[in-house]
Amino acid sequence: MKRFLIISLFLAFAFTLSAQDRDDNADPKLYTIVNQAIESRNLEGSFDLDLGFAAPARGVYSGSDIDGDGNYEIIFTDYANGGKFHMFEVTGDNTAEWVYSSPGIGSSSSTNVRCVSVADLDGNGDMEVILSVNGSAGTDDAVMGLAIFEYSVAADSFLAPYFSNFDVANVAGNRYLIEGFDVADVDNDGVTDDVDLCPNTLEGTEVNETGCPIFSIAADNFTIETIGETCPDENNGIISIEANENFNYSTTINGVDYEFTSSLNVENLTPGSYDFCISIDEKNYEQCFTLEIIEGTTISGKTTVKNQKATVELASGTAPFKVFINGKIQFETQAPTFDVNVNNGDYLEVKSSIDCEGVFAKQIDGIEELTVYPNPTTNSFEISVPNYEANNEGVLNIYNLNGQLAFSKYVTIKNNKVNVEIAHLPKNIYLVSLELSKSYSFKIIKN
């Protein structure tokens, strides 16, 4: 792909400068042409780049690592000596070494080289040094315009230059000077091609400061699930990771390094919080997560008993639940709250689906075995005795408050009930005694 150069023509002298932090010490340097010699200045002072021979400098560039060795270069133009450029490599703080001087471009000192820039003009991954070549009409016509030196990383050297020349016939008899040019942003990514390391980026792609696409993956690329500890002190929690896109992922969980491409299971984890990040090193990508491994639990809950019905409310435990009365299974349920019929003395047990969660158990005591209704009454009342089999017989005695026997009869339990007629008794408060296998006493009010 061709790169476009924007060129300015002037009839005046100009000096150039370039500002960069090229020695990685976080101190920006200002590289300037001072009295036709290149200097580097910062707040700490300056240092000179010594060629060892006279070379009037007119342009300087400090923007690229041309040979790809991790060190940046400073390039400046040589106004004399047939027109050429010299390249220094920054090797440390305020330290640079000469690495290359180009051959002379023209045969006349009037073929002066002023401006310099660097770009990958042909998009092949190798950088070019671009020079403006000036002169007078009729002098070195073949090299009036731009001289381009491509550095081949494979060959580890500069290739022979090629030229982009002006039609000097239109300026015959006049002297012209190229005092400035720039490299266009051909892929329209907002990064000019002199520093664009990815010059063929598709339009609309988000790029970084070097013009290369910013790597990203979908926010929901990872599906992460946790399985809590099955039982207390088992330390068998699990973190499971599934990735939609395959890359060389790496992460560290609980102090252990892991690598995976699509899925990962991390087992035998203790309960607690886990902070970890998943990285793709070659893409300079990282996404972080915080997860919780839940501690194992035991089955627990509470029971309330009323009218021979126990209501169980489980606070913890894993469904389904099996319900036992006196060792015999009654039913199985997924619900954490349920009712079960019970009698005094019954032993209620609830077991979860995980044996190590234990058993929730309740001894049923204190059920009100005998109820009287209505009380007060006018003519009769009914005694409910649910814990007795049908046709059980007993003796009913009714006493007034003076302890005198007011009424007595034999009774038979039918449908767990005893009906008593007292219409013949006067209005009063009476003490009733019912003798079955157990003795029961209660008061009844006759209106």
215-229: pLDDT as tens digits = 888 889 999 999 998
CB-neighbour burial class of residue 305 (10 A; exposed 0-12, middle 13-18, buried 19+): buried
What's the pLDDT band for 67 if we cut at 50, 70, 90?
confident
What's the pLDDT band for 335 if we cut at 50, 70, 90?
very high
pLDDT above 80: residue 61? yes
Contact 399, 393 (CB under 8 A): no
Q: In the predicted model, what is the mean pLDDT of residues 379-395?
A: 82
Q: In the predicted model, what is the mean pLDDT of residues 150-161?
A: 91
Distance CA 170, CA 41 (A): 42
Q: In the predicted model, what is the mean pLDDT of residues 312-332?
A: 94
Distance CA 74, CA 63 (A): 8
Q: In the predicted model, what is the mean pLDDT of residues 428-447?
A: 89
pLDDT at 176: 61
What's the pLDDT band for 34 if we cut at 50, 70, 90?
very low
pLDDT above 50: residue 375? yes
127, 148, 193, 422 from 121: Cα distances, Å = 7, 9, 8, 118
101 Ramachandran zone, left/alpha/beta (phi>0; psi -120 to 50): beta
pLDDT at 55: 60
Helix (H, G, I), strand (E, B) or coil at 112: coil
Question: Is residue 351 within a helix (H) or strand (E), and if so which, with residue range?
Answer: strand 347-351
Side-chain half-sphere CA neighbours of 96 within 13 A: 29
Hey, what amino acid is at 348?
L
Q: In the predicted model, what is the mean pLDDT of residues 406-412?
A: 93
Distance CA 112, CA 129 (A): 16
The DSSP line for 32-45 is: EEETTEEEEEETTE
Q: In the predicted model, what is the mean pLDDT of residues 91-115?
A: 75
Bridge partner list, 361: 349
pLDDT at 29: 42
Contact 246, 262 (CB under 8 A): yes
pLDDT above 60: residue 110? no
Token pair of 409, please? 């009869």
Other C-beta atoms closer than 10 Å to the C-beta of 160 total 7
pLDDT above 90: residue 166? no
pLDDT at 11: 36
182, 238, 317, 387, 430 from 151: Cα distances, Å = 19, 54, 72, 104, 120
What's the pLDDT band for 382 if we cut at 50, 70, 90?
very high
Token pair of 165, please? 């020349």
φ, ψ of residue 202 to 5 degrees: the values are: -65, 145
Q: In the predicted model, what is the mean pLDDT of residues 366-390?
A: 80
What's the pLDDT band for 139 if we cut at 50, 70, 90?
low
pLDDT above 70: residue 194? no
Token pair of 373, please? 């209704």
With residues binned 3-state (H G I as helix, E B as strand, rest as coil), the percentages for the chain, rounded to 5, are: 5, 50, 45
Mean of all residue pLDDT scores within the chain:
80
pLDDT above 50: residue 196? yes
Distance CA 409, CA 420 (A): 9
pLDDT at 369: 66
| Of 374 and 167, more confident | 374
* Tens of pLDDT, residues 198-217: 878 888 888 887 888 888 88
Token pair of 363, please? 């001894």
Helix (H, G, I), strand (E, B) or coil at 76: strand
